[in-house]
Amino acid sequence: MAQPKPTYEIATIEGDGIGPEVCRASVSVLERACGTGLLAFQDLPGGADHYVRTGDVLPDETYQACRRADAILHGAAGMPGVTYPDGTEVGNDLHLRLRFRLDLYANVRPIRLYQGDFSPLKSREAGSIDYVIIRENTEGLYASRGGGVVLRGELATDTLVITRRGTERIARFAFDLARKRSGAPRDGRKRVTVCDKANILRSYAFFRSVCDEVHADYPDIEIDYAYVDAITVHMVKRPDFYDVIVAENMFGDIISDLGAATVGGLGIAPSAEIGDDFGLFQGAHGSAPDIAGTDTASPLATILSGAFMLRWIGERHEDPRMLEGAARVERAVETTLAQRKFIPRDLGGTASCTEVTRAVCDNLK
């Protein structure tokens, strides 16, 4: 466990599209929540626009600064039409490179319903959806990115990779998290649901069996299984059953967008990519080029990701100032939404990004 520091360095990559506006919103809330001097943000270049100008999506100076920092805060990266010759998007490459080089193996996606009517699901009360998706972030089907084969214009393959080490560490991460939480809203049971397709592919059956082995060390946590197709139904029909869900990379990617939709959309869904030594925090959404520059984006996902970052640093350094800062930001978001005066557009309100940010800042008091 590291010692508390007088100041924590935050490497900040605003990126493209709505990235700069939501990132600045988060920085202003975090600075206010923590007071002067505790956080030092370093603004760093990177993203699709930077690639267009320089040919580099992640400059080495940005990467090195990310390695030196206590955490990384990111807006979003990606611009329509900015692709590599193989057709894949340049923007995604920014955090993919950071993900692999910093070994950010756990993608943590909290799914929480703040106000019942934000959910498209019928008769859902605030707090009745409250679970976390743990997406394995470094292997699975996406491990093949850049390594797939297109043969003679006739067939294409990408390979799904599951390793014992990768599965053990993500399963352990999920069970450790379940231990710290207070269980599923429905029954208060601490539960890890393993999401896979073990009935069809050997690789997923192996993923499940390794999760089972890890579970032997956690007799206090219930283990549950769901095939990925079935879980899309359960996440809609009985979302209160879930506490922690652990999934292979691509499945986790897909179900976390569905989870976000059940609590109001991508604009309120935070995300963290965490490894043993580094952590990167950004909203679950992309650069949303359709609304960039219009001051209509919701900053809440990035603000909540920032709170997550404070808590992560606070736990690593046993620093109560950071833990208190995280709690203040989360309470301020909750209060802002409960007041119903400044609700972002994607949640049915009319408030701009600037207005929502100001309301959250005001509620920090």
- Residues in contact with ligand ATP by the rule CB under 6 A: 18, 22, 78, 266-267, 283, 285-288, 290-291, 297-298, 301, 346
Asked if residues 108 and 312 have their Cβ atoms less than 8 Å apart, the reply is: no
**Non-local CB neighbours of 4 within 8 Å, separated by 6+ positions:** 317, 318, 319, 321
Distance, in Å, from the CA atom of 304 to the CA atom of 283, rounded to the nearest integer, reads: 8
Which helix (H) or strand (E) covers residue 247, if one does? strand 244-247
Q: Does the active-site annotation cover 197?
A: yes
Dihedral, CA atoms, 289, 293, 298, 303, nearest 10 degrees?
A: 100
Antiparallel, parallel or unpaired: β 155-157 and 149-151: antiparallel
Least separation in angstroms between CB 39 and ligand ATP: 22
What minimum distance in Å lies between the beta carbon of 141 and ligand ATP?
16
For ligand ATP, give the closer residue by CB, 33 or 266: 266
User: Per the residue annotation, which of 229, 277, 290, 295 is the catalytic one?
Assistant: 229
Q: Minimum CB separation from ligand ATP for residue 346, in Å?
A: 4
Which listed residue (117, 240, 257, 362) is catalytic?
A: 257
Q: Does the active-site annotation cover 257?
A: yes
Dihedral pair phi/psi, residue 157, rounded to 5°: -135, 145
* 130 noted as active-site residue: no
DSSP E strand stretches across 154-234: 155-157, 191-196, 222-227
**Region class of 212: left (phi > 0), else alpha (psi between -120 and 50), else beta:** alpha
Distance between CA 162 and CA 276 in Å, rounded? 19
Which residue, 22 or 192, has its beta carbon nearer to ligand ATP?
Answer: 22
Is residue 253 annotated as a catalytic residue, yes or no? yes
Which of 8, 114, 131, 142 is flagged as catalytic?
Answer: 142
Q: Which is nearer to ligand ATP, 285 or 317 (CB)?
A: 285
By C-beta, is 193 or 296 nearer to ligand ATP? 296
| Residue 360 · residue 332 · CB < 8 Å | yes
As measured in angstroms, the least distance from the Cβ of 304 to ligand ATP is 11
Query: Is 105 assigned a catalytic role?
Result: no
Catalytic residue among 16, 253, 319, 346: 253
Q: Which is nearer to ligand ATP, 15 or 239 (CB)?
A: 15
Q: Provide the minimum distance between the beta carbon of 284 and ligand ATP in the complex, in angstroms, as a whole number.
A: 8
Closest residue to ligand ATP, judged by C-beta, is: 286
Query: Catalytic residue numbers?
Result: 142, 197, 229, 253, 257
